[in-house]
Structure 1
Amino acid sequence: MSAHWQEIAFDPSEATSVRIYDRGAHAREPSIVLYLAGGAFQRRAAPAEEAPAARALAAAGAIVMEVDLGGWQENTFPGALDRAFAVLTGIRKCRRQYGSSKSTLFIAGDEAGGNVAAGLALKARDQMSGAVRGQILLSPMIDPLMASGSIRDADRIGMRGRWSEGWSRYLHSARYLMHPYAAPCLCSRLTGVAPALLMTAEDDPLRDEVSAYSKRLSAAGVRVHLKVLPSGSGWTGIYRNEEGAWLDAVRDAFAAFSDEVTH
């Protein structure tokens, strides 16, 4: 499987950098996944390295489209979310070009990208009802307060300062701290959002906020699958684009989730 960045004009007035992962062997009506990569809201440019998690989703039979949300100055709220929503709208309109007119749409993201994916799922519920069949959130950064018990381990993997700085950059204004699209874990209305697959690990500093969000989604009547990998599975390598056995877990969990929500 190979992937490379290309400019796609979903909107005639503006082209967007997208990297497409396609293993070339999939169903006649393959799912299309809009993927948002992590980076603690601090990427300065589209990453040259491919996202291992995006490859894992493609290995499950989907066509994965990773979108570049912009550089250092642009990757803030609400601009990043608005660009993601514009791409989602574009993919929905022209999905025949990449899969088929009946291809199911999913949103996925890891870490900071998981935050944008969760916010995008909420915005899609409000403005594009029924368009998104599911959301795949891989250790999403969804709690700007960083107050969970497991977050104490962030220093162990060298992420506390990076995440704290990333939140400050992304929100950049106190008025966004409680915005439901910016901090999904603080959203008071989760009913009707797309079914969710959430993944984390026992030794993941973001474990507690992921688990808490899973419970809140479930309480709101949202179909939820929470998968917590065991310690030592290499899951935290997701923050460094490191491969490992956890990729098989992502592939298998997505395959099962996709099969369930589309049948």
Structure 2
Amino acid sequence: MTSQQHSSQASPKAPPPCVEKQIDIGQREPLAARFYGRRQGAHGSPLVLHFHGGAFVGGSLEGGSSIAGLLAASGAVVMSLDYPLAPAHPFPQAVEAGYGALVWAWKARHKLAGHDAPMFVAGEEAGGNIAAAVALLARDRHGPALAGQILLSPMLDPCLGTASLRDVHAGPVGCIWADGWHSYLPRLEDASHPYATPGSVFRLSGLPPTLLITAEDDPLRDETQAYAERLRAAGLFAHEAVLPGPTGWPCSYLEAGHDQAGWPAVVRKQFGDFFASMSAAQNVQSSLLSGP
């Protein structure tokens, strides 16, 4: 396993400090991952497996550093995964790699974040899709017990037919998403697979609490809100936050160093509040199980 230290103090927009390593999740080749944050407290910190955006065909660990850094600044230990990209690696390869990384992180959680560290998945745009799919896989395969999932304007609708997309005249970005879906799902039958399009899943019971974040000017706002509604209709906890515009989403979180218009502080608070509420719920449950 090799590692590389990343940090910069020259620019306030530079990526936050992290360590990059190659991890072996049982696939043909190891995958790169960046680790942010440090364990805090006797009981450990939230451990978050993060997936960057990029319409399934692009993006990078560097591009995902804005959101990964905010998660770490909220008190979490973050493992950001360089998952395989389409078209060379179409569905379900990214999802399977994501689940393999989740199992790896779960087994290593004592070393990474503490023995009692609660496990989360998180992602933005295409990474939000993969995070949601990994949560479904963890449920269906009786895998690691997730304390929550954090989805920032996830790509969930391959039809690209929502009003929020039309309202903002997505233009070239919309074309990128269309091309991304086509590359990720080259077989028509995969478009209805629950792990490819989690927003269309009917059986949602058993999923962990969810934080969903979008923005007034986010082209993916409608599909984010639709998934929140489906989760709540299934009786699940889903907290939805809509940031006031302009935010420049998705470009402002996909591109490191992009003008971020003040939204990072709001998102960081949302992350911190979600971690705190999940920790409180876990403490209550532990007290009930232990009895008087």
Query: What is the TM-score with the length of structure 2 in the denominator?
Result: 0.83
1:103: which partner in 2? 117
Q: Which stretch shows the higher mean deviation, 2-11 or 57-66?
A: 2-11
CA contact (8 A) 1:198 1:225 kept: yes
Quick one: distance in 1 between partners of 2:246 and 2:69? Answer: 21
| SS, match of residue 57 in structure 2 | coil
| SS, match of residue 21 in structure 2 | strand
- Structure 2 stretches of 5 or more lacking a match? 1-15, 281-292
Q: Pick from 43, 47, 53: which aligns with 1:32?
A: 47
Quick one: distance in 2 between partners of 1:188 and 1:6? Answer: 37
1:197: which partner in 2? 211
Quick one: distance in 1 between partners of 2:100 and 2:27? Answer: 12
2:275: which partner in 1? 258
| SS, match of residue 155 in structure 1 | coil
Quick one: distance in 2 between partners of 1:12 and 1:156? Answer: 36
Deviations 1:72-105 (A, max 9, x none): 4444210110000001011111111211121110
Quick one: distance in 1 between partners of 2:111 and 2:240? Answer: 33
Query: What is the TM-score with the length of structure 1 in the denominator?
Result: 0.92
CA contact (8 A) 1:41 1:75 kept: no
Q: Which stretch shows the higher mean deviation, 219-228 or 50-59?
A: 50-59
| SS, match of residue 239 in structure 2 | strand
**Structure 2 counterparts to residues 60-75 of structure 1, below 5 A:** 60-75=74-89
1:78: which partner in 2? 92
Identity, in percent, stands at: 38
Kindly provide the amino acid, as one letter, of the partner of residue 262 in structure 1: S
1:90 and 2:93 are equivalent in the alignment: no
CA contact (8 A) 1:35 1:65 kept: yes
Quick one: distance in 1 between partners of 2:39 and 2:134? Answer: 28
**Change beyond 3 A, Cα 1:163–1:13:** closer
Kindly provide the amino acid, as one letter, of the partner of residue 57 in structure 1: L
Quick one: distance in 2 between partners of 1:129 and 1:86? Answer: 10
Q: Pick from 190, 202, 206: which aligns with 1:188?
A: 202
How far did 1:155 drift? 3.4
Kindly provide the amino acid, as one letter, of the partner of residue 82 in structure 1: E
Quick one: distance in 2 between partners of 1:207 and 1:49? Answer: 21
- Structure 1 stretches of 5 or more lacking a match? none
| SS, match of residue 159 in structure 1 | helix
CA contact (8 A) 2:52 2:61 kept: no
How far did 1:26 drift? 2.8
Q: Which stretch shows the higher mean deviation, 123-132 or 80-89?
A: 123-132
2:66: which partner in 1? 52
Quick one: distance in 2 between partners of 1:76 and 1:172? Answer: 7
Q: Which stretch shows the higher mean deviation, 129-138 or 106-115?
A: 129-138
CA contact (8 A) 2:45 2:118 kept: yes
Q: Pick from 33, 42, 63: which aligns with 2:57?
A: 42
CA contact (8 A) 1:235 1:246 kept: no
Q: Pick from 185, 190, 193: which aligns with 1:179?
A: 193
CA contact (8 A) 2:25 2:97 kept: no
How far did 1:172 drift? 1.1
1:119: which partner in 2? 133
**Change beyond 3 A, Cα 1:244–1:54:** farther
**Change beyond 3 A, Cα 1:185–1:39:** same
Kindly provide the amino acid, as one letter, of the partner of residue 18 in structure 1: A
Kindly provide the amino acid, as one letter, of the partner of residue 271 in structure 2: F
How far did 1:153 drift? 3.8
Kindly provide the amino acid, as one letter, of the partner of residue 36 in structure 2: Y
Kindly provide the amino acid, as one letter, of the partner of residue 248 in structure 1: A
Q: Pick from 223, 232, 244: which aligns with 2:246?
A: 232
Quick one: distance in 2 between partners of 1:173 and 1:4? Answer: 37
Quick one: distance in 2 between partners of 1:147 and 1:86? Answer: 32
Kindly provide the amino acid, as one letter, of the partner of residue 201 in structure 2: C
The total of aligned residue pairs comes to 261
Deviations 1:21-52 (A, max 9, x none): 11x47333011100000001112x74445520
| SS, match of residue 228 in structure 1 | strand
**Change beyond 3 A, Cα 1:12–1:158:** closer
